[in-house]
Amino acid sequence: MQSTETATANSRPYLALGLTFLLLGVGYANPWPLVTSPPAGMWNGQLAFEVLNLYALVVFLGWAHFLYAWQGQWKASGRLTPLRRALYWGTVAAALILLAVLRKWWGVAVFSLVVWVYNIAHFIKAEILFAGARERSRFYSPVIAFAWFTLVLFQAGPMGKLAVAVGGSVLLAVALLVAGDWRVLAEGQVRLPVLTLFLLGETLVWTAYGQYMSPAFRVGIYVFHIAAASFFHYLSSYFFASGRSRLTQPWVIAVVNVVFLCAGYAVAHTGWLRWASVWLAPEWFTLWVALHLVGSDLLPWWRRSVARSTAQTQLIRERI
């Protein structure tokens, strides 16, 4: 097993973080519209031009990330028997149908918010893997904090009341510290509770500032967080996998990302390519994010269940 230092060096978190900051700036400052209209059904069109450009950049670069992720899962599923491999991909296809139904039932906005919270869980688990950390069960804390941040930022239900938002944020921070985040931070082995406390502290900041915020400003804050987490995850994944195959050579990764950026731009600005909007248009992105997350979580479980079944079968044969 890799040491924490080696795994961390491989994923180059500080380089990924620095490039993330740069990409955030590029996304906001780009003067050319990457898409022509806000995503339908999301945030009631309350996106400033700069925020829409940033979200579009997340979408287009996200498809390059999907390509590598699905390629890796296809390769990993090759270790299964042909029947079990077919069953796995059939389950993924069924998951896509179920996710499409949920998207239709909940609405694009609610579905998307749920997916972005789920995405933070995926992001946290990936970063723990890249860092080679030992406490892999402690990813839930930032996920809870981000879910709370989402509810308070968009003033869902009672979260629009100052006392509820402030009191709930403080109580949640205390509860998570008592539940183990204090110990983890004190030991210095896992830094994820720093993200938890940052999100809860930031929740308090925006709650206090809420009286001055327009709906578009709230959406801008949320998209900033989505973009920061997404860019960091994309880059960390590339650094972690860099050079392990011909497809993960740095120049190949760069070309793939440029190709998807150009493809997304072409679909948004060319009428005869609108048929591809279901893949590359921002309003559909969270459906494919959700499928990516489900597929990523399903494959390890599937392989473990197959391994258990194989071991049990072998044991039975030995006893006969």
For the chain, what is the mean pLDDT? 86
Q: Please report, for residues 43, 66, 108, the alpha-carbon distance to residue 218 in angstroms, rounded to integers and kept in the order given.
A: 10, 28, 18
The whole-angstrom separation of Cα 88 and Cα 258 is 31
User: CA–CA separation, 166 vs 193, rounded Å?
Assistant: 19
Q: What per-residue confidence (pLDDT) applies to 76?
A: 84
Rounded-to-integer distance, Cα 253 and Cα 259, Å: 10
pTM (two decimals)? 0.87
d(CA 8, CA 12): 6
State the pLDDT at residue 266: 95
Q: pLDDT digit string (tens) for 62-112?
A: 999 999 999 988 888 888 888 888 988 999 999 999 999 999 999 998 999
pLDDT in tens, 112-157: 999 999 999 888 887 777 666 555 555 688 999 999 999 999 988 8
Structural contact between residues 116 and 58, judged by C-beta atoms closer than 8 angstroms: no
What pLDDT is stored for residue 97 in this prediction? Answer: 97
Looking at residue 242, the DSSP 8-state letter turns out to be T
Looking at residue 131, what is its pLDDT? 65
Question: What is the pLDDT confidence band of residue 297, given thresholds at 50, 70 and 90?
Answer: confident
Domain ranges of the chain: 4-319
User: How many Å separate Cα 91 from the centre of its chain?
Assistant: 21
How far apart, in Å, are the Cα atoms of 36 and each of 205, 266, 269? 33, 11, 7
